[in-house]
Amino acid sequence: MAMIETVNLTKRYGELIALDSLNLSIEEGDCYGFIGPNGAGKTTTIKILATLLKPSSGQAQIGGLTIGYQNRQIRPLIGYVPDFMGAYEDMVVTEYLEFFAAAYNIHGQQRKKVVQDVLELTDLTYKATAEVNSLSRGMQQRLSIARVLLHDPKVLLMDEPASGLDPRARIEIRELLKELKRMGKTILISSHILHELAELCNMVGIIERGQLLFSGSVSEILRRARVGHVIHIGVAERTDQAAELLAKAPGVEKVGVVDNGDTSVGDGRLIHIGFDATKGGSATDLPNILVNNGFRLTKFDEEPVNLETAFMRLTKGLVQ
């Protein structure tokens, strides 16, 4: 059974459809990266899962419990980290955490121990007596994570936790999330910092205009994004003839010769090839075709495909 599951989950605001029949399944222990353009429906999804919004139709479950009907049982299972934690003036860090621990019915010596434990886990022990509103944005985000860990939830729902952070703070948040993943937490995290999600998450989902375009492993999304990738080839001489030959190869959709001024690759020109592996052939066949026809290769590389390029291609509808 999936830890998080939605079936035809839909949310409407008048004529606007924020979520359109979203079907999402996240297994226990997954770290799931939820990515999409602004306004795609990421925050709406997370708020519904956090029991803060009611869906217009469809169903969402956490741990087999249905949102909207079993919210009281669901809330102890989840920890929700919004993109901004809000202001708590005149409260110091330990007071802030003890206040929320009390809200979770954690009392006495157990409360003190839990607060110390989460401060240690989030590396905020040295800030225990600092005022919350004096903390940097990165420290406030770590404190927000400490808050939701007080009751040891199974599921963490994180909406842009690294938004607005400087590079050091982003690294610290990333390392903290890796530790939470090692602890077996199921994590749903939305973010625009895609290369960090690729390091952190084992599963990703791409949402656009309220619709889920893709959901699966990082390796699968990268494999799909390689459809329609670009290859750069240099030959020692007769670049135009080599381009004409490659244009006839299986899978080659487009061929162009461009001047890059680098004479280390023959006459200073490169062949750019648009290649679609779904139409037969393999990109690794192209060097053999050239060599077998008397050409000497000086360059052969492919444009790197990472989570950012995959996101761009999928959201532009370039991969079906």
Q: Is 314 within the bounds of a domain?
A: no
- Rounded CA gap, 102 and 114, in Å? 11
Examine the domain organization and report whether 206 and 238 are in the same domain: no
Please say which residue of 165, 194, 217 terminates a domain: 217
The H or E element containing residue 45 is: helix 42-49
Q: What is the pLDDT of residues 223-239, one digit of tens each?
A: 766 555 678 888 888 88
Q: 68: which DSSP letter? A: T
- Rounded CA gap, 306 and 168, in Å? 22
Q: What is the pLDDT of residue 285?
A: 84
128 close to 94: Cβ distance less than 8 angstroms? yes
The strand ranges marked E within the chain are 4-13, 16-26, 31-35, 57-62, 65-66, 78-81, 155-159, 186-190, 203-208, 211-217, 229-235, 252-259, 269-275, 297-302
Examine the domain organization and report whether 171 and 235 are in the same domain: no
Token pair belonging to 129: 């007596």
Domain range holding 123? Answer: 4-217
Examine the domain organization and report whether 208 and 295 are in the same domain: no
Q: Is 69 within the bounds of a domain?
A: yes
How many CB atoms within 10 Å of residue 314?
Answer: 20
| CATH number of residue 209's parent domain | 3.40.50.300
Structural domain count of the chain: 2
Handedness of CA 118, 120, 121, 122 (dihedral sign): positive
Three-point CA angle 83, 5, 179, nearest 5° = 50
The strand ranges marked E within 152-228 are 155-159, 186-190, 203-208, 211-217
Q: What is the pLDDT of residue 229?
A: 67
pLDDT beneath 50: ranges in the chain? 317-320
Examine the domain organization and report whether 176 and 37 are in the same domain: yes
Model-level pTM? 0.75
- Rounded CA gap, 35 and 279, in Å? 29
Q: 52: which DSSP letter? A: S
Examine the domain organization and report whether 243 and 169 are in the same domain: no
101 close to 111: Cβ distance less than 8 angstroms? yes
Residue type, 67: I
Q: Is 312 within the bounds of a domain?
A: no
Examine the domain organization and report whether 241 and 292 are in the same domain: yes
Q: Is 311 within the bounds of a domain?
A: no
Examine the domain organization and report whether 101 and 150 are in the same domain: yes
- Residue 86 CB contacts under 8 Å (≥ 6 apart), including other chains: none
136 close to 172: Cβ distance less than 8 angstroms? no
Examine the domain organization and report whether 168 and 295 are in the same domain: no
- Residue 284 CB contacts under 8 Å (≥ 6 apart), including other chains: none
Examine the domain organization and report whether 196 and 161 are in the same domain: yes
Examine the domain organization and report whether 162 and 128 are in the same domain: yes
| CATH number of residue 280's parent domain | 3.30.70.100
